[in-house]
């Protein structure tokens, strides 16, 4: 099913026969002014209201969508301008959660870890408004990242369910409801983010069951990706091939592709979304470096099953560095496609473009 749902993202004016889908993982640096006005909106003495903040979010979304489009990306997003943190944002919208205060992650870095105190339920929509606004602002297809149920469960205090698996399944049903609403609104590219799986890889079957629930009733033309980062992929491979997804999105640039061999045996049977720029260094990779990184992907999948993306969300980078990385990534991808068209890239005996 993945082949036909990938082709819908090929731009009408795509210059090459080959098409490597370019994408982002999710977050993008917020403009400084947005952080400033968010603080202002929190300040009771300020005249800057929630309505003003909403307007500022709208403006920021337009700016980032435009920035994505100018880099030439095939699929874009709003860079998660309205989201504060990947668990808090959703917990705030799901019935059954409460917040008690910050807890330590490391040093003086804290996270408002929420508690599940009652059965979770779908109250207000999480992302439909965000998607509709972004979709209207964009001329390219919009990708929607959603924090996955396993991560939403693992990074919360569980007061209400017998174990985290039960909580994950209950949350997966809600994610399914949200994905249905997004599809109804026109979304065709959804990415489930499960970073918690990297820390507890033995729970891969729980994530599998969650994904089964998430995609239940979702039409085939909707592309479903799964993003897992910063872990030992050999602990979840080849089990992840059983997942009902179109694409598995990996962070491998950070580790200089040391783990690439993990995915070669047994054969990788889903599409690969390969991280080709490192999001934890401000050095901007050259087009040539990125082209070499993209070619690493051909060790696993043929070009028609390769998606090109950054390792992870780029929000911690300075904005101009993030933009340059994405721009070089797109340039490198288009050059690789042209070289493939010209037959200049030897894909080796195992992976054929035909």
Partner 1 sequence: MTELVATTPGLYPLPDWAKGELSDLKGHQKGDLITGDEGPEIVDVYDRARAEVVDAQVGAGLDRVVEGQPRWDDVLAHPLTIHENVETGGIVRYYDNNNFYRDPQVQGELTPSGDVAAELAAVDVDADALQAVLPGPYSLADLATDDHYGDEADFLDAVADFLAGEVEAFPGHETLFLLEPSLVESPPGDDTNERASDAIDRVAAATDADVVVHTYWGAVPEKTYAYLMDADVEAIGFDFVTETEDALYNINEYGTKDQVALGLVDGQNTLVESPETIRDRVEWVDERTHTDFERAYVTSNTELYYLPVNKFEEKLQALGDAAALAEVDA
Find the shortest distance in angstroms from Cβ 205 to partner 1: 18
Nearer to partner 1, 116 or 273 (CB): 116
Give the nearer residue to partner 1 in terms of CB position, either 94 or 336: 94
Maximum Cα interatomic distance, the chain, rounded to a whole number of Å: 68
Site string for partner 1, 170-209 (x = CB under 8 A): --------------------------x--xx---------
**Taking the complex as a whole, how short is the minimal distance between the CB of residue 229 and partner 1, in angstroms?**
14
Q: Is residue 308 within 8 Å of residue 333, measured between CB atoms?
A: yes
- Residue list 24-53, contact with partner 1 (CB under 8 A): none
Query: What mask, x for binding partner 1 by CB under 8 A, covers residues 134 to 163?
Result: --------------------xx-xxx----
Query: Partners of 337 in the beta sheet?
Result: none
Binding characters for partner 1, 83-102, by CB under 8 A (x = yes): -----------------xxx
Nearer of residues 231 and 303 to partner 1, judged by Cβ: 231
Q: Is 104 in the site for partner 1 (CB under 8 A)?
A: yes
Question: Is the Cβ of residue 103 or residue 136 nearer to partner 1 in the bound state?
Answer: 103
Closest CA to 254 of 285, 216, 217, 291: 285
Residue 107 found at the interface with partner 1 (CB under 8 A): yes
Closest CB 241 distance from partner 1, rounded Å? 26
Q: By CB under 8 A, how many residues form the interface with partner 1?
A: 21
**316 lies in the site for partner 1, by CB under 8 A:** no
Residue 94 CB partners (closer than 8 Å, separation 6+): 120, 121, 122, 123, 126, 152, 171, 174
What is d(CA 194, CA 86) in angstroms, rounded to the nearest whole number?
10
Can residue 349 be called a binding residue for partner 1 (CB under 8 A)?
no
Comparing CB distances to partner 1, the nearer of 163 and 320 is: 163
Find the binder of partner 1 among 18, 113, 223, 291 (CB under 8 A): 113
Nearer to partner 1, 11 or 318 (CB): 318
User: Is residue 258 a contact point for partner 1 (CB under 8 A)?
Assistant: no
User: For residues 21 and 333, is the Cβ–Cβ distance under 8 A?
Assistant: no
* Residue span binding partner 1 (CB under 8 A) among the ranges 1-9, 27-35, 40-48, 107-115: 107-115
* Residue 98 vs 267, nearer CB to partner 1: 98
- Interface pick for partner 1 out of 50, 109, 266, 349 (rule CB under 8 A): 109
Residues for the chain: how many in total?
Answer: 354
Confirm or reject binding of residue 269 to partner 1 (CB under 8 A). no
Q: What is the distance between the alpha carbons of residues 294 and 300, in angstroms, rounded to a whole number?
A: 11
Q: Which of 106, 162, 258, 348 binds partner 1 (CB under 8 A)?
A: 106
**Exactly one of 38, 115, 125, 259 binds partner 1 (CB under 8 A); which one?**
115
Binding site for partner 1 (CB under 8 A): 100-110, 113, 115, 154-155, 157-159, 196, 199-200
């Amino acid at each position: 099913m993945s082949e036909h749902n990938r082709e819908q993202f090929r731009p009408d004016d795509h210059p090459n026969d080959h098409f490597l889908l370019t994408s982002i993982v999710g977050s993008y640096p917020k403009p400084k002014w947005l952080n400033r006005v968010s603080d202002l909106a929190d300040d009771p003495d300020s005249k800057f209201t929630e309505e003003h903040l909403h307007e500022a979010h709208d403006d920021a979304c337009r700016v980032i969508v435009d920035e994505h489009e100018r880099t030439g990306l095939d699929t874009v997003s709003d860079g998660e301008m309205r989201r504060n943190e990947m668990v808090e944002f959703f917990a705030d919208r799901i019935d059954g959660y409460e917040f008690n205060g910050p807890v330590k992650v490391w040093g003086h870095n804290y996270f408002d870890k929420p508690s599940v105190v009652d059965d979770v339920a779908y109250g207000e929509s999480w992302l439909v408004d965000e998607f509709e606004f972004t979709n209207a602002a964009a001329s390219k297809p919009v990708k929607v990242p959603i924090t996955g149920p396993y991560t939403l469960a693992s990074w919360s205090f569980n007061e209400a369910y017998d174990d985290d698996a039960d909580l994950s399944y209950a949350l997966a049903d809600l994610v399914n409801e949200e994905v249905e609403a997004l599809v109804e609104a026109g979304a065709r590219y959804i990415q489930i983010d499960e970073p918690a799986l990297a820390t507890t890889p033995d729970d891969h079957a729980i994530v599998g069951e969650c994904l089964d629930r998430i995609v239940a009733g979702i039409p085939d033309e909707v592309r479903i990706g799964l993003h897992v980062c910063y872990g030992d992929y050999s602990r979840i491979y080849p089990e992840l091939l059983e997942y009902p997804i179109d694409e598995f999105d990996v962070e491998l640039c950070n580790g200089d592709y040391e783990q690439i061999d993990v995915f070669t045996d047994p054969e990788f049977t889903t599409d690969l979304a390969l991280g080709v720029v490192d999001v934890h260094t401000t050095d901007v990779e050259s087009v040539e470096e990125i082209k070499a990184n993209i070619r690493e992907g051909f060790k696993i999948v043929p070009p028609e099953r390769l998606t090109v993306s950054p390792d992870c969300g780029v929000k911690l980078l300075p904005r101009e560095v993030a933009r340059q990385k994405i721009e070089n990534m797109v340039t490198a991808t288009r050059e690789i496609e042209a070289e493939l068209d010209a037959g200049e890239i030897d894909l080796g005996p195992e992976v054929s473009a035909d």
